[in-house]
Amino acid sequence: MPPPDDSLPHDDPRIGTVLSDRYRLDTLLGEGAMGRVYSAEHVMMRKRVAVKVLHSELTRVPEVVGRFEREAMAAANIDHPNVAAATDFGKLEDGSIYLVLEFVEGRNLRDELKRGPVSVGRALHITRQMAGALAAAHALNIVHRDLKPENVMLVKKAHDPDFVKVLDFGIAKVPLDAAATPGSQAGSAITRVGMVFGTPEYMAPEQALGKEVDNRADIYALGVILFELISGLRPFDEKDELGVLGQQLSKPVPRLAERVPGTLAPEAVESLIHRLLRKEVSERPNQALEVARALDGLLAQIAPELMTVVPGSIPGTASYPGTGSYPGIGRFPSSASLKAVATVAQFNADTPAPAEIEPPSDAPATLASDSPRPPLTSDADFDPGFPAAAPGKAGGASDDWFDGIRSNLPPKLQELPKAVLLGVPAAVLGVGVLILVLLVGAVATHTPEPAASGSAAASGEPKVEPSNQASNDEIVAARKDGVEALEKLSKTYPDDTSVMLELARAYALKERRVDAVEIIEKAVEKNPDSRKDPGVASTLWVAAQDEQSQDQAFALLQGAMGQKGADIIYDLVTTDGVKHKVVSRAEKWLASDQFQKNSSPALNIAVALRTAKSCGQKHGLLLRAKNVGDKRSLPYLHRFATPTGCGRGGRGDCNPCMRKDDRLKQAIEAIEKRSGS
- Active-site residues, by number, are 146
In sequence order, what E strands does 464-619 have?
A: none
Q: DSSP states of 207-234 as a string?
A: HHTT----HHHHHHHHHHHHHHHHHSS-
How far lies 446's CA from each of 212, 296, 434, 436, in Å? Answer: 89, 60, 18, 15
346 touches 271 (CB < 8 A): no
User: Are the beta carbons of 201 and 148 closer than 8 angstroms?
Assistant: yes
Cα angle 344, 231, 386 (rounded to 5 degrees) comes to: 45
The answer to whether 74 and 174 are in contact (CB under 8 A) is yes
Q: Are 119 and 381 in contact (CB under 8 A)?
A: yes
Question: Cα torsion at 562, 566, 572, 574 (round to 10°)?
Answer: -160
Q: What is the DSSP letter of 83?
A: B
Q: Please give the Cα distance from 555 to 568 (Å, whole number).
A: 12
Whether the CA torsion 115, 116, 118, 124 is positive or negative: it is positive
∠ CA 284-289-295, nearest 5°, is 85
Main-chain dihedrals φ then ψ at residue 22, nearest 5 degrees: -130, -40
Taking the C-alpha atoms of residue 519 and residue 507, their distance in angstroms, rounded to an integer, is 9
CA 194 to each of CA 197, 208, 393: distance values in angstroms, whole numbers, following the listed order: 10, 9, 56
Q: Specify whether the CB–CB gap between 499 and 488 falls below 8 A.
A: no
